Amino acid sequence: MLDAIKYRGDNASHALAPEAQAPTQAQRMSPQSLKVACSNCNLRELCMPLGLSTDELNRIDDLVALRRKIKRGVALFRNGDTFTSLFAIRTGVFKTCVATEDGRDQVTGFQMAGEIIGLDGIVNDHHTCDAVALEDAEVCVMPFNRIEELSREVNALQHHVHKIMSREIVREHGVMLLLGSMRAEERLAAFLLNLVQRLHARGFSQSELTLRMTREEIGSYLGMKLETVSRTFSKFVEDGTVEVKQRHIRILNTDALKRIVNPQVCL
């Protein structure tokens, strides 16, 4: 499903241990290169189209108006906020969530480096969900009118924007499938496999990960109560499928997880 992204970060530990992160490339460079520049960004392959000419690349650098740092727990945008920009995540993990009028809410996704958030705001010029940083984070702010302008001129960018939105639609189909037809164990197994796969695509381990979200947030995303999440983790531990130390997870048996998600095919 997810494109096979070959990404080698210069500091592959940053998302697992961001607090211990070395200075980023931009921070280390000379003043003039402090200018925001997609063409230099080590996440380029994740959020920008491939195969651009140098001219096109230079123009795309103008897409990012500024970078913004978001402290853990703070919202990048909230339901009702005026929509102006899309955001490309540079570091950190976000959750997005929607709410009913009577206060229940639902996490609709967890987003990490290279992913784009804010697409929900385009329809009505207002955001319809909250995006909250689950750890200190940094995003590139891309004013949407600039995106539209530039994508009229750079075909690859235009198509890239369409693909990003389509990918989000397809991702949500997957979540609907999960919420509509899977049982607790299957949901959590699918969740873990998805997370670890995305982290792996970013240069991290295939078997170890640190959750950036609470059991309650996982539960909200997966449509189950936090107690059920906890119990299901415990069951996986009993079965010897994973090791759980609070938020640190080590997957001991990937195949077992896959079998849980897809009983028929894998058995």
Site string for DNA, 170-189 (x = CB under 7 A): -------------xxx----
Residue 23 interacts with its own copies (CB under 8 A)?
Answer: no
Q: Which is nearer to DNA, 159 or 247 (CB)?
A: 247
**Does 51 engage in binding with its own copies (CB under 8 A)?**
no
Closest-CA residue to 192 (of 237, 155, 161): 237
Sheet holding 85-91, edge to edge: 66-70, 137-143, 85-91, 116-117
10 binds, among its own copies, DNA, none (CB under 5 to 8 A by kind): none
What is d(CA 35, CA 108) in angstroms, rounded to the nearest whole number? 33
Q: Which residues contact 237 (CB under 8 A, 6 or more apart)?
A: 243, 244
Q: Which residue stretch of 53-61, 116-124, 154-162, 219-227 sits at the interface with DNA (rule: CB under 7 A)?
A: 219-227
* Residues in region 218-247 near its own copies by CB under 8 A: 220-223
Q: How far is the CB of 177 from its own copies (least distance, A)?
A: 4
Among 128, 207, 230, 253, binds its own copies (CB under 8 A): 128
Interface with its own copies, residue 108, by CB under 8 A: yes
Stretch that binds DNA, among 33-41, 100-108, 161-169, 243-251 (CB under 7 A): 243-251
Q: Which is nearer to DNA, 67 or 225 (CB)?
A: 225
* Residue 130 binding its own copies, by CB under 8 A: no
Please report, in angstroms and rounded to a whole number, the separation of the first and last CA atoms in the chain: 22
Residue numbers 137-166 binding its own copies by CB under 8 A: 148, 151-153, 155, 158-159, 161-163, 165-166
Report the alpha-carbon distance of residue 210 to residue 135 in Å, rounded.
12
Shortest distance, position 14 Cβ to its own copies, whole Å: 27
Residue 128's binding partner, choosing from DNA, its own copies, none, with beta-carbon cut-off 5 to 8 A by kind? its own copies
Does position 215 interact with DNA (CB under 7 A)? The reply is: yes
Any contact of residue 80 with its own copies (CB under 8 A)?
A: no
Binding site for its own copies (CB under 8 A): 98-106, 108, 119-123, 128-129, 148, 151-153, 155, 158-159, 161-163, 165-170, 172-177, 179-181, 220-223, 261-265
